[in-house]
Amino acid sequence: MKKILSLLFIFALIIGVTGCENVETKKEQKNDKGGYTELNKDSKSLVLYFSATGTTEKVAKMISEATNSNIIEIVPKDKYISDDLNYNKDDTRANREMNDLNARPEIENEINIVQYDTIYIGYPIWWGTNPRIILTLLDNVDFKGKNVALFCTSGGSGIEQSVADLKEYNSEVNWLGGRRFSSNVSQDELQDWINSLNY
């Protein structure tokens, strides 16, 4: 009986230790700035996303799963509330920002991409292109020489204009192109896109 108990104890110990290792290497959490983060120190790819109402976030999490990438949400210092996003009114915050080529909404969280070779950047389409906060990201984080694939969600507009705009904004990035996904995209469709990327 004693032998069985000690065996059980050793078994429990092994499970416990392995469990702890997992916790240590893979951290899924709301980060201190309220953004969604999942980090594994060994990962070479990262999903970075901005999502005002959660649609792009859902796709971002699926891409992170399919590619085994870490994931970091781009958190605006001033969060967008629904009044800010009402594009039917002229003077709402999102419209003001999109009408101003120089608008650079501040990012709250620190974004470190040194460990990554490939980065997937996702965002909603606003007025046919990327929200200005993506330009803040490019201004503040050094993407030189990184492979960057873009993805977006939208009410129907494609990502092509945004891909062209971002290529023009920073030509030192190895842009891999981009794809628009609908909110109910399947894991297979995402996988096809990931497989098609040319590094």
Positions touching ligand FMN (CB under 6 A) are: 51-57, 85, 87, 94, 124-128, 153-157
Task: Check the CA dihedral 160-164-165-171 and report its sign.
Answer: positive
State the minimum distance, in angstroms, from the CB of residue 95 to ligand FMN: 6
Amino acid at 86: N
How far apart CA 151 and CA 181 sit, in angstroms, is 7
Burial class of residue 78 (count of CB atoms within 10 Å of its CB; 0-12, 13-18, 19+): exposed
Q: Which is closer to ligand FMN, CB of 16 or CB of 34?
A: 34
State the minimum distance, in angstroms, from the CB of residue 6 to ligand FMN: 54
Q: Which is closer to ligand FMN, CB of 85 or CB of 194?
A: 85
Phi, psi of 29 (to 5 degrees): -165, 165
Task: Identify the three-state secondary structure at position 173.
Answer: coil
State the minimum distance, in angstroms, from the CB of residue 155 to ligand FMN: 3
Q: Which is closer to ligand FMN, CB of 124 or CB of 147?
A: 124
Q: Which is closer to ligand FMN, CB of 55 or CB of 136?
A: 55
| Element housing 130 (H / E) | none
The structure tokens 């990201």 sit at 137
State the minimum distance, in angstroms, from the CB of residue 144 to ligand FMN: 27
Q: Which is closer to ligand FMN, CB of 56 or CB of 70?
A: 56
How far apart CA 50 and CA 19 sit, in angstroms, is 31
State the minimum distance, in angstroms, from the CB of residue 94 to ligand FMN: 4
